[in-house]
Each structure stands twice: as structure tokens, then as C-alpha cells.
Structure 1
Amino acid sequence: MTTSKPLIVPVPLGARAYDILVGRNILGEGVEQIKKLGVRKVALVTDENVHSLHAERIIKTLADNGVDVAAPVVVPAGESSKSYAVLAKTCDDILATRVERGDLVIALGGGVVGDLAGFAAAIVRRGMRFVQMPTSLLAQVDSSVGGKTGINSSHGKNLVGAFHQPSLVIADTAILDTLPERELRAGYAEVIKYGLINSERFFFWCEENWQQIFAGGPERDEAVAHSCRAKAEVVVRDEFENGDRALLNLGHTFGHALERIVKYDNARLVHGEAVAIGLAQAFRFSARLGLCAGQDAGRVEAHLKSVGLPTRLQDVPGGAGSVDAILDAMTQDKKVKAGTLTFILAKGIGKSFIAHDLNKADVAAFLMDEWNS
């Protein structure tokens, strides 16, 4: 079993500061860090798929190191678990373990489990500490970092939640070896997002090294650590998304709208696939508005296609809805202010910016052309 020395990414948020540990087979080091938090008991929240693959080993490692683990709280796998009903049951199940306010919730799973368990930790006993153990590439590079927790509403994605920073993030990249290829590709969309936001060099590095990232070489550790560093820098500047943290939503205004249209059906579209389409659309829209070169938009789309990700509305199985339906879904985006649409657009690869007060007619015309292209 290959073990790598953890790469440590600090998130310096004062009293809410924490570290992100990134590396291959680093569970032992992670448990040592958990012990330093001084916990009496742990409530582990996971989903059915991850429970069968990883929970037993992690519970044993914690127990062998003197950490008392209650019977795990297991939720259904998939986006549908980010609901009021599952949140209520999760909170009740955590309380049933008799963990105290000074104890710990561990979120073992992908982005759904991290968002759900993190939100539950934020509200159970008016706030408990929690640790993220992300088991998907998407969660390791994005949702486990930064303290955004929440569930979905019929009105849109992630519209009910809280900012609640974890006490520690343990990103064991060996766990990603068990991911289905589709999930690995979907998570990769969030990796290249960081290059598209503000690091042309990282995007070019990804073009050269994506196969090694997928294969699990040291490039995977570096890609995860770079993504976490990039996100941490933004979070430290704007923890509660009052300013440039919105840049992290590049591709998400389009992507979240598509997820809502397919009713969060993972069989049709998982989050990273929606983001991939959104990234390609954000660059095509930017090129249409004369903000960036068409060759940049083409390069982004070509790379997404090369790794097997969707880039067009026509790539959504069962259809992506009408232009009006997409626009309606966009109006529920969290970045909407005073009823006006806000997008993250780009002046080139690595040169993204927040665009306010976009003309709705321009967006509609772009989407109509997208359907007809």
C-alpha cells in the first residue's frame, strides 16, 4: 500500500482556522489530527455506497486509536438526500447517538454527505464541530472546503443552509481509486475550474497531466492540493460570499439551472457534468459578448470533451428543457441580486470576473443559439 506524506493546506480563518490534509492512504495521520481536537465521541454520517466500501475500516481505525464511534448514520446515496426530510432524520439520528455539543460529527462521503452532515452539525445542539472526509474528487477539491453546507429546495439547489467551517478536512486520494469513471470525470470539472478562474498555468498543466490525475499518480495529490489552496485563498478573503468568492461559481449559474431542470436526477446528470456544460457555456457566452477570444472558448470545450465530459445542452440525456425553463431556473440562483442576473464570465483562460446586471434578452438569445448549434 503506497502512502504519501500529507500535503497540508492551511485555511487561516482566525478562531475558525483548520487544515486540509491531502495525500494517499493518510487515514492514520488524519486520525491523529482528530485526536488532537479532544473529542469524546464521534457521530459518523455516510451514505449507503460509501458505508459498504469504507466505513468499517475507518470506524476500526478510529476505535483502535481510542476514539469512540457511535453506530453510523447512513443516508440514501444521491442528490435526493439533500432534502428537508433526510436532514430532519439525520439530525434526529445524530441526537440518538448521544453525542454532546463538544463532540464531533464526521462527514464521510461525497459532496451530498458533506453538505448534509455539515448542515446538520451546524444546527444540532445549536452547532457542533465536524470533520470532512471527502470520498469523491469533486468533494475533495470543492465542497469539503470553505464551510458552505446545505440542502436543496424545490426552488433550486443549495438554497437552504449555513456557513459552518469544518475543524479538519482529510482528503485521502487513495479512496478515489474506488470511484466509478463517471464520478472521477465529473469531479475533474471542478479541478480545471480553478485554472479557468485565475491560473492559466494550472489549466495548461491539467491539459498535460489529466491522465495521471485519473490514474492516481502523484499528480492527483498535487491537483487536489492546488485546488484546495486556490479555494482557501478565496475563502479567506471572502468567507461569507459577499464579494469575489462568487468567482468559485464559474459555470455554476448554467450548471445549477440544468440540475434543477432534470430534478437532480443523477442518472441523467451529476453535478460535475452540469458544471462542465456550464464552464463551456460561460466561455462561449463570454466569446459571444466579445469578452474573450473564440479560441479560448474552443480550447476549454476541447479539453472537457477530451476527458469525456459533456459541453452542450444537447448532451443532457432526456433534454435540458426550454430556454424559458433554463432562464426561470437561473432566477433562483444565489447570486441573483435585486432580480438581476449575475454570471461569472471570462476575459480569457485564467481571467474570470463577476458580471452584474446582464441583459436577460442577451442570455435568452445565447441559449437559443446554443440549442440550435
Structure 2
Amino acid sequence: MATDVAQRSTKLAHIHLGVDGGAEKFFVRLSRALAKRGVEQIAFIRHDRPWRDELAEHCTVRELKFSRSHLKRHFVRWGVSKEIRDFGASTTLGWMSPASKWMPKPGPDMRTFLRLGDFPDGFHTYGNVQQLIGNTPEIIRQAVEMGWPAECAHMISNFVDPLPDNLQPVNRSEFNTPEDATVLIALGRFVQRKRFDLLIETLARLPDPVHAWLIGDGELMNDMKLLAKQLGVETRTHFLGWQKDPTPFLKASDILVCPADDEPLGNVVLEGWNAGLPVVATASPGPSWLIEHGKTGLLSPCGDADGLAGSIRTVAAGPEAWESFRANVTDHQQQKHSADVICGHYADLLSLKLDSSAGTRT
């Protein structure tokens, strides 16, 4: 994965146009980790991003008004390119396909990368993109099948930050949840592919006191509330809205569930492991890659409520059911998904020089 560029840099530019979600959280997380390892960064983002102040704690931030006009886009891109050159960065990392329109022109003094956390839908705006980074093998496989050069496509996964030692779980009683309940937790946008409906159908197959906490929002929220009522589990299904920091909720839960049909990575799997939770998931691409069935979690077929319910019953049978997974999960995270490992992969690919005193890998 290392490049042939002999001179490594300590400066990196980002272009990120997202709003708020898992991809945005990882962007802030990675840029913070790189900053701790001595990389100076500048980021071009839209106005009023909810994570702007958090990003600005370790990164120079430029808030821009991006335009759909082809002519205006040309001038905005020129201005971004000039600021990147003035900043001293020779590498630009774009985040998701919308950023591809604003990438500076590559050349001897500029290398351009685009990081994808979802499957590509075409390359018509990728004219200034030299290299792709996907966070799962399946994303890269699909990109290459669609015609992207294999030698210019790279896989680097995600990591999550360790939880603070003093992190306190939320109080279940504040969310109408009994202390003795088995609490399932799922996180994400309320859109079809996340399959919150499957989780609600699964809950209807499980006895009280199994409850479900659904964290997120989206267009299908009201539909999911109606489904819970129709299936008679509205008192055991708790819609907790979007949470900027879901970790206190994870700490108060018992099992993380990822019921998606089409999940490129499943960052929630990493978050669940990080919180010490057993993870059960449907066998969509990301979780199938992350989880070794029977060793680091349990997988069931996509769309199969009975199968998902069976996995939950297995894990909920007693603490010893999860304890057998715990050491495997810890070892897997340290070897594949730690901040040191992931930052090292990005440093190798982007030719970044890391401060050796900040982590175990430089």
C-alpha cells in the first residue's frame, strides 16, 4: 500500500461535504488521530456542520458555499486549490462522491484521493481523482468491476476511539426501560436498507422483558412507530432520536443489533465491540466481513427475523455466551481496527510522516 513518493509530508488537505452521520464521525475521528500524530490539516466543509467546532479543535477549517453552477464551481475549486497550496499540502483527501467535484487538479505537486464509505454509483465527477480508498473489500470490488483501475483502489478500514474510563451509562428508567430488561440497541438512519422494521419484527418474536432502543432519525421514523404498535411491541420499542454521543446508551445496553440488508461496513459493529457488547447482525456485506460467525459475533440471513431472533436468544442465554467471544473481539480490534493500525495505513498510502511518539506505529 505504500507509495513510491520518497518525501513524506506532515500536511494534509480534506474536502468533506457531509452533514451528520457515521461517515462524518469517522472523518473527525481520523483527522483528530492524525493531528495527535503530528499531521497538520486543513478541511473545506459546508457552512453550519454540527461537528464543525469539534473538527476545529485540531484542524484548520474553511467553511465554503459550494455551488451547483458549473462556472461558479470552477472558481470555487480554483480557490480551494490555491488555499491548499498556500497551506503547504501536496495531498488532498476527499470524502464521499460529492467531494470529487471540488478536488484540485492532480499533478507533480498534488496527489488526490477519494475515500468512499459506501458503494460508488459512477465516476462521472471523478476527473480529478487519482486514487480511491474504500473502507471494505466489497466497496473496492464493486468499484473495480465498474471500471476503476485496480492498481488505483485501496482498502483501509475504520477504527473507533476507546471509551473513557469514567463513562457513565444512561439511566434506563429515564427511557421507560426496566432495569432487568435485556436491551437491544440499533443505530442508524431510518431508511429502508437499515431495516429497523426487521428489528421490530424480531422483537415481536422475543418475550418481555426484551426491549429495543432505536437511535437515529429519518424518513421512516413514523412508519416504524406504526409498525411497533401494529405488532404489539410499542411499549418495548423506544425511539430515542439522534444522539451526538451514543456511547452512554451503548454502555446501558446488552446486545448490539445490526439488521441491515445493505451495509457497506457497519461502523456500529465496531462501536458495539468497543463498548463490550455482543454483536448480532444480518449477513450484509460489511458485517459479514467484520464478523467471524461464532467467534466474534453471530450472523443470520438478511431479512430473516426468525434467524435474528435465534441469534439474540443465543447471546441472551447467559453471560458465558458472550464471554467466549470477548477475547477474540479484543484481539481482532487490536490487530485490524486500532487507531495506530489505521493511521499507519493512511500514512503509508498518503505519504504522511507520523510522530513516532504518538502511537506504536509511525
Q: Which has the higher helix share?
A: 1
Q: Whose relative contact order is higher, 1 or 2, with alpha carbons under 8 Å and at least 6 apart?
A: 2
TM-score when scaled to structure 2?
0.27
TM-score norm. by structure 1 comes to 0.26
Decide which structure has the larger Cα Rg and report it: 2
